[in-house]
A and B are shown apart, each in its own frame.
Chain A
């Protein structure tokens, strides 16, 4: 019965399988060990459609004005979804600190969103999980996407019943 209900709920969300793929690139910032930069690279198809709308002067770049517009109108939409980024400190899920220094760019025909997260805890105590609970977007995390400035990291898949997520841990941090 549980399976049937699960099947029903999933089948009825007609629009909810991944239609956008987001590569997540986490980078530990050297100057501040507790600042992590996340860069999302959207897939090329979604990017081309968004760029058509967001690069208003069509110069192939996102200028300050366009950046502000994207941050206010588009990036802000991810607030209720915690930016698909969940932070755990000592095993406890905490609210993600408000992203700072939002920057949208176009790289290789792909729209990228980058933002910094400042953390009030030791790196060794935290880990992140990524995923869209509605499964409209698929977030992809791979070893080669991570730049932890020499710190060892570990990526594992997380089975969340309704969606698939990734977990990013930092190992051997002093």
Chain B
């Protein structure tokens, strides 16, 4: 079942990937606004589908919203923040490494992405600890629990977005090779927004589950919060151990 789903999104990505590369190359000879927009639009869809595959912080976002009483608006905000970090990190990493260390790009890319993944893992663990702390103190001051700070949201978004997505980096790099800088940057942004929307859905799904469970879970709110926070922490730990 799961692998059928993977196969489906892989075949879509296969076609979208081909479409983008052949059109970007064609535009070297002749650029028109409509073809420019088509490539960016397809990059957006590519991002939507791409983030549906494994990874990209969907688990983190889902766990975060398990431990937090939030509304759907927050989930979208989270998706939006993650897209911003995703796009920025991909652009900075790609341009940075490409222009500073032009030659041994591949080798360095692997090294840098390991470091980025470790930073991300530690960040996720810190968010987990912060959520545990909030759940604990929130229990003491029940009335204050509603006013969650946006600090932890930013932390979650940063941890999920700081690892540059190889898919976005590939598009950026491909457009650098073709000399299509503007198109590359805009495609990377479009793709990141697409990914952000899919990642938001993980959060919305998690909130919907919470709402459905509703009153029953309300009385166990504290346990649920602790559980969600521990999951976030555990996820960071697993990711960190995988890097060492």
Smallest CB separation, A24 vs chain B (Å)? 13
List A residues 3-45 near B (Cβ within 8 Å).
6-8, 10-19, 21, 43-45
8 Å CB contact of A46 from B56, B105, B170 = B170
In the complex, whether A163 has a CB less than 8 A from a CB of chain B is yes
Which residues in window 46-61 of A have CB below 8 A to B? Answer: 46, 48-50, 52-53
Q: Does B239 sit at the interface, judged by CB under 8 A?
A: yes
List, in ascending order, chain B residues with CB within 8 A of A164's CB.
3-4, 6-7, 10
B3 touches A15 (CB 8 A): no
A161 contact set on B, CB distance < 8 A: 2-3
Q: In the complex, are the beta carbons of A43 and B17 less than 8 A apart?
A: yes
User: Is B4 in contact with A19, judged by CB distance below 8 angstroms?
Assistant: no
Instruction: Give min CB distance, A32 to chain B, whole Å.
Output: 33
**Which residues of B in the span 61-111 have a Cβ within 8 Å of any Cβ on A?**
103, 105-106
B178 at the A/B interface (Cβ < 8 Å)?
yes
Indicate if A162 sits at the interface (CB-CB under 8 A).
yes
Please tell me the number of chain B residues within 8 Å of chain A, measured between CB atoms. Answer: 41
CB-contacts of A139-174 with B (<8 A) = 140, 157, 159-164
- The answer to whether the Cβ of B214 comes within 8 Å of any Cβ in the partner chain is no
Given the interface contacts A18-B13, A159-B3, does A45 sit within 8 Å of B170 by beta carbon?
A: yes
List chain A residues, Cβ under 8 A from B3. Answer: 159-164
Choose from B10, B21, B178, B235 the contact partner of A18 (Cβ within 8 Å).
Answer: B10
A residues engaging B (CB < 8 A)?
6-8, 10-19, 21, 43-46, 48-50, 52-53, 109, 135, 138, 140, 157, 159-164
B contacts, CB < 8 Å to A: 2-4, 6-7, 10, 13-14, 17-18, 20-22, 25, 50, 53-59, 103, 105-106, 113, 117, 120, 163, 166-167, 170-171, 173-174, 177-178, 235, 238-239, 242
